[in-house]
C-alpha cells in the first residue's frame, strides 16, 4: 500500500511509483488502462511472474516533476537511477508514442546487446499485432499495454538471438487483437458525436481520401522510382540521380520540427483567443479542433506527429484568417511549406507540391520526402506507410482531414 493513499489512488510521483513497484513490479494506472485496468493489470502481472529475468512495468501518466519532452524515457531513467534495480524496464506515459524499454544489468548472458535485440523483437511483434488489428479497424492500434504484454511474452519465450526475427507465435500475437489490448478507433468515436452534422458524408470522404491517397502514394512511388522499383531511395540510386543523403541527426531534426510546431501552435492559441468570437462558428470549430489535436503532439518523439502538429496549427490559422479554401502544404514534405501547384503523378492523379518538388518532378530529379523513422533505424517516405499522415497527406489532399487525426 502506498503511504497515505487508498488502494485506488494514483502513484503520482516518482517516489510513489517506486513505492508501488517495490510491492508489485507491474503498475497499471487507471489512466492507461483503457477501461480495462484490472484485467490488463492481472494479465501483465501473471506474465511478469513467470519472467526468467526481473521486470518492471509502469503504465502511468507522466509525473509533473519530469522536465523533458521524452517523459517515458526520463521516467524510466529516474526510476532505475533511484532504485538501482537491474532487469528489463518498460515504461509508458501517454497514448501518443511515449514508451520506453531498457535493459539494465546482465539479464541475457550470451546476447551482446540485449536492449537492441529486445527492442527489435518488440518492434516485430508490435508490427505483426498492428497488421492483424488494422485488418478489422483501420485506425486502431496496439495500446501501450499491449506493448508491455508483448515485452513480457518475448522474455518468457526467450529473447531471440538475432535481429529482425519474429519472436512470437501467431497465437501469441493474435491474443492482442481483442478490445482489451487495442487502442480504439478514435475516428468512429468522433463520428458518433452529436454535433457532427453529416457523419455519413465525412465517413465517405475519409474513405475516398484513403483510397485516393493509397493510389496516389503508389503512383508517386512508381513515378519517382521508375519501372519496377517500388522503393524510392533504391530506385533513385539505380537511376544514377540520387542525391547524397543529408546527414541530419534524427534528434536534431526532431527538435527543429518541435520548435516550429511549438511556435505555430502557440500562435494558433493566441489568434484563436483574440479573434475566435469574431469569426463564424464553423471556422472557429475547425481552429479549435486543430488546436486540440496539435497541442498534444508537440511533445511527441515521433517526427511525423510533431510535423503533424505544425500542419494542424497552420490549418487552424488559415481557417481563422480566411473564409475560402484551406491550408495545403507540400505533399512530399509538409515542411517545404505551402503547396504552389499540383503535380501530375500519371494516370490523371495530382498532388499539391511546393515549387521545388514541382521542379524536381518535371526534371526527373529525386525528391526528398519526409521520412518516417521505423523502429530499428530504417526509414521510408511517410506516404509509403499507413499512418494517418499518409492517408491524409498531412492535409494536402483536402477534406475535413483533421477529423481523422486522433485527439
Q: Which residues bind Zn ion (CB under 5 A)?
A: 330, 332, 336, 354, 357
- Kindly state the smallest distance separating residue 374's Cβ from Zn ion, in Å: 22
Residue (27 or 330) nearer to Zn ion, CB: 330
Q: How far apart are CA 309 and CA 299, in angstroms?
A: 10
Residue (114 or 357) nearer to Zn ion, CB: 357
Residue (153 or 333) nearer to Zn ion, CB: 333
Residue (14 or 351) nearer to Zn ion, CB: 351
Dihedral, CA of residue 271, residue 277, residue 282 and residue 286, to nearest 10: 30
Residue (173 or 330) nearer to Zn ion, CB: 330
Query: 349 in helix, strand or coil?
Result: coil
Residue (160 or 352) nearer to Zn ion, CB: 352
- Kindly state the smallest distance separating residue 210's Cβ from Zn ion, in Å: 22
**Which segments of 162-294 are extended strands (E)?**
182-183
- Kindly state the smallest distance separating residue 248's Cβ from Zn ion, in Å: 16
- Kindly state the smallest distance separating residue 361's Cβ from Zn ion, in Å: 9
Q: How far apart are CA 406 and CA 393, in angstroms?
A: 15
Q: Please give the angle made by the CA atoms of 295, 209 and 318, to the nearest 5 degrees.
A: 40
The distance in angstroms from the start CA to the end CA of the chain is 34
Residue (286 or 357) nearer to Zn ion, CB: 357
Residue 45's nearest CA partner among 59, 62, 31 is 59
Question: CA-CA distances (angstroms) from residue 106 to 2, 47, 138, 155, 164?
Answer: 30, 21, 40, 14, 22
Q: Please give the angle made by the CA atoms of 12, 31 and 99, to the nearest 5 degrees.
A: 85
Tell me how long the chain is.
Answer: 407
Residue (151 or 357) nearer to Zn ion, CB: 357
- Kindly state the smallest distance separating residue 328's Cβ from Zn ion, in Å: 12
- Kindly state the smallest distance separating residue 192's Cβ from Zn ion, in Å: 36
Query: 168 in helix, strand or coil?
Result: coil
- Kindly state the smallest distance separating residue 241's Cβ from Zn ion, in Å: 17
Q: Exposed, middle or buried by CB within 10 Å (0-12, 13-18, 19+), for 373?
A: middle
Query: 207 in helix, strand or coil?
Result: helix
Point out which residues pair with 344 in neighbouring strands: 350
- Kindly state the smallest distance separating residue 85's Cβ from Zn ion, in Å: 48
Point out which residues pair with 101 in neighbouring strands: 90
- Kindly state the smallest distance separating residue 288's Cβ from Zn ion, in Å: 29
Query: In this structure, how many other beta carbons lie within 10 angstroms of the beta carbon of residue 21?
Result: 19
Residue (219 or 275) nearer to Zn ion, CB: 219
Q: How far apart are CA 370 and CA 373, in angstroms?
A: 10
Amino acid at each position: 500500500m502506498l503511504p497515505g493513499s487508498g488502494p485506488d489512488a494514483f502513484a503520482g510521483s516518482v517516489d510513489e511509483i517506486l513505492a508501488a513497484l517495490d510491492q508489485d513490479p507491474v503498475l497499471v494506472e487507471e489512466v492507461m488502462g483503457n477501461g480495462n485496468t484490472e484485467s490488463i493489470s492481472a494479465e501483465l502481472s501473471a506474465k511478469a511472474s513467470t519472467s526468467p529475468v526481473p521486470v518492471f512495468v509502469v503504465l502511468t501518466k507522466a509525473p509533473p516533476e519530469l522536465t523533458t519532452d521524452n517523459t517515458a524515457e526520463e521516467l524510466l531513467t529516474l526510476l532505475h537511477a533511484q532504485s538501482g534495480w537491474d532487469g528489463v524496464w518498460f515504461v509508458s506515459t501517454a497514448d501518443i508514442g511515449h514508451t520506453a524499454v531498457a535493459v539494465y544489468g546482465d539479464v541475457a548472458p550470451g546476447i551482446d546487446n540485449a536492449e537492441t535485440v529486445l527492442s527489435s523483437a518488440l518492434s516485430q511483434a508490435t508490427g505483426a499485432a498492428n497488421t492483424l488489428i488494422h485488418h478489422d479497424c483501420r485506425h486502431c492500434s496496439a495500446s501501450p499495454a499491449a506493448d508491455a504484454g508483448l515485452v513480457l511474452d518475448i522474455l518468457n519465450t526467450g529473447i531471440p538471438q538475432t535481429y529482425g526475427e519474429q519472436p512470437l507465435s501467431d497465437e501469441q500475437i493474435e491474443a492482442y487483437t481483442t478490445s482489451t489490448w487495442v487502442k480504439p478507433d478514435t475516428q468512429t468515436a468522433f463520428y458518433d458525436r452529436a454535433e457532427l452534422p453529416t457523419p455519413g458524408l465525412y465517413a465517405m470522404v475519409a474513405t475516398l481520401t484513403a483510397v485516393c491517397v493509397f493510389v496516389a502514394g503508389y503512383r508517386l512511388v512508381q513515378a519517382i522510382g521508375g519501372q519496377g522499383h517500388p522503393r524510392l531511395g533504391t530506385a533513385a540510386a539505380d537511376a544514377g540521380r540520387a542525391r547524397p543523403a543529408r546527414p541530419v541527426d534524427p534528434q536534431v531534426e526532431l527538435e527543429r520540427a518541435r520548435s516550429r510546431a511549438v511556435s505555430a501552435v502557440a500562435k494558433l492559441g493566441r489568434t484563436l483567443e483574440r479573434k475566435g468570437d469574431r469569426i463564424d462558428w464553423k471556422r472557429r470549430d475547425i481552429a479549435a479542433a486543430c488546436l486540440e489535436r496539435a497541442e498534444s503532439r508537440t511533445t511527441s518523439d515521433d517526427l511525423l506527429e510533431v510535423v503533424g502538429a505544425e500542419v494542424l496549427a497552420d490549418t487552424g490559422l488559415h481557417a481563422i484568417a480566411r473564409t475560402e479554401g484551406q491550408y495545403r502544404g507540400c505533399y512530399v514534405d509538409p515542411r517545404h511549406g505551402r503547396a504552389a501547384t499540383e503535380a501530375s503523378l500519371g494516370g490523371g492523379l495530382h498532388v499539391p507540391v511546393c515549387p521545388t518538388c514541382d521542379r524536381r518532378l518535371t526534371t526527373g530529379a529525386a525528391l526528398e520526402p519526409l521520412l518516417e523513422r521505423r523502429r530499428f533505424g530504417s526509414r521510408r517516405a511517410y506516404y509509403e506507410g499507413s499512418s494517418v499522415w499518409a492517408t491524409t497527406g498531412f492535409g494536402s489532399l483536402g477534406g475535413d482531414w483533421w477529423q481523422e487525426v486522433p485527439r
